[in-house]
């Protein structure tokens, strides 16, 4: 009981830290990435564990459900850590992010890799999916014989939807429909932590005395995270527009925070979907 009460004494400090976060999400993300000095397990980016362990947990489902002959789009690519891992399994990987600074870093960290490209795009903006679909068509997501409809591309989303509001989630989902075409599929993995903000930061090593620096940086500058589970997925990707192929619990990994040598683990949710009603 006393420990629980002590945890809530962090509330004033958290409120002070978050008070200066930009209200404009575009500005918030670009300012965050402009201040990142290093990435990986000892870097500044909370959600970059510096390992492929989390991706290894996804590979079985990616291989089962996503067409390996199609390109893949990594939405919210950040510094491209997952984009580079996806490029090992698909003919081309495209990372897109709302932050110009994130994309610059992703390009620098991916220098020399031929089957990767990056673009700065707000995937909640009207028409963003159609534009990207045309780019992918040129890369070989293309048309089948006899003028068949565009085959499309696969889409990978990790840790994006839980920081968006409901309207932006729905807008992103509609843009994803324009990317996936006939044969593309969507794999998403999101934080689904069942607790409040105090529980969440405590889970990641915050105490009344100290907060891990990468966590503090996220609190200071970024949108307050929410949760994204089956209920939120059904609203953003409604059954009238999407077929749910598979879903269930997963684990999202962060850089080491509460333990200096081991990634911290956040309860998460994954889903695999395909668009309905394609002509």
Higher pLDDT, residue 196 or 47 = 47
pLDDT confidence bin for 193, thresholds 50/70/90: very high
CB burial of 27-43 (b: ≥16 within 10 Å; e: otherwise) equals ebbbbbbeebeebebeb
Higher pLDDT, residue 172 or 261 = 172
Task: Tell me what pLDDT residue 147 has.
Answer: 32
What average pLDDT does the segment 57-61 reach? 97
pLDDT tens-digit map of 116-173: 999 999 999 999 998 887 777 766 544 433 333 467 899 999 999 999 999 999 999 9
Q: Please check whether residue 100 is in contact with residue 120, taking contact to mean a CB–CB distance below 8 angstroms.
A: yes
Q: Which of 36-50, 105-119, 129-143 has the lowest mean pLDDT?
A: 129-143
Cα–Cα distance for residue pair 204/95, rounded to 1 Å: 27
Q: What percent of the chain has pLDDT over 70?
A: 92
pLDDT tens-digit map of 8-21: 777 888 888 888 88
Question: How far are the Cα atoms of 117, 123, 136, 211, 253 from residue 112, in angstroms, in the given order?
Answer: 11, 26, 20, 37, 27
Task: Tell me what pLDDT residue 176 has.
Answer: 97
Model confidence, pTM: 0.91
pLDDT confidence bin for 180, thresholds 50/70/90: very high
pLDDT confidence bin for 6, thresholds 50/70/90: low
Nearest to 109 by CA among 139, 126, 124, 87: 87
Higher pLDDT, residue 98 or 148 = 98
How would CATH label the architecture of 2-162+170-184+193-228+255-271?
Answer: 3-Layer(aba) Sandwich (3.40)
């Amino acid at each position: 009981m006393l420990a629980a009460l002590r945890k809530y004494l962090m509330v004033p400090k958290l409120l002070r830290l978050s008070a200066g976060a930009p209200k404009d999400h575009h500005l918030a993300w670009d300012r965050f990435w402009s201040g990142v000095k290093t990435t990986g397990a000892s870097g500044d980016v909370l959600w970059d564990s510096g390992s492929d362990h989390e991706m290894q947990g996804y590979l079985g489902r990616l291989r089962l459900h996503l067409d390996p002959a199609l390109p893949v789009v990594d939405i919210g690519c950040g510094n491209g850590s997952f984009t580079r891992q996806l490029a090992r399994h698909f003919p081309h990987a495209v990372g897109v992010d709302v932050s110009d600074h994130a994309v610059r870093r992703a390009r620098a960290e991916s220098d020399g890799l031929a089957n990767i490209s990056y673009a700065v795009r707000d995937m909640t903006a009207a028409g963003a999916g159609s534009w990207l679909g045309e780019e992918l068509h040129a890369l070989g997501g293309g048309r089948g014989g006899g003028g068949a409809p565009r085959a499309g591309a696969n889409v990978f989303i990790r840790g994006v939807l839980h920081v968006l509001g409901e309207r932006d989630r729905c807008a992103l989902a509609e843009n994803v429909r324009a990317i996936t075409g006939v044969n593309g599929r969507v794999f998403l993995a999101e934080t689904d932590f069942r607790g409040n903000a105090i529980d969440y930061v405590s889970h990641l090593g915050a105490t009344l005395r100290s907060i891990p620096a990468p966590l503090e940086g996220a609190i200071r500058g970024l949108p307050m995270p929410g949760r994204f589970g089956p209920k939120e997925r059904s609203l953003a990707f409604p059954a009238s527009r999407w077929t749910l192929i598979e879903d269930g619990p997963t684990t999202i990994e962060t850089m080491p925070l509460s333990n200096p040598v081991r990634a911290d683990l956040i309860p998460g949710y994954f889903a695999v979907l395909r668009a309905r009603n394609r002509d």
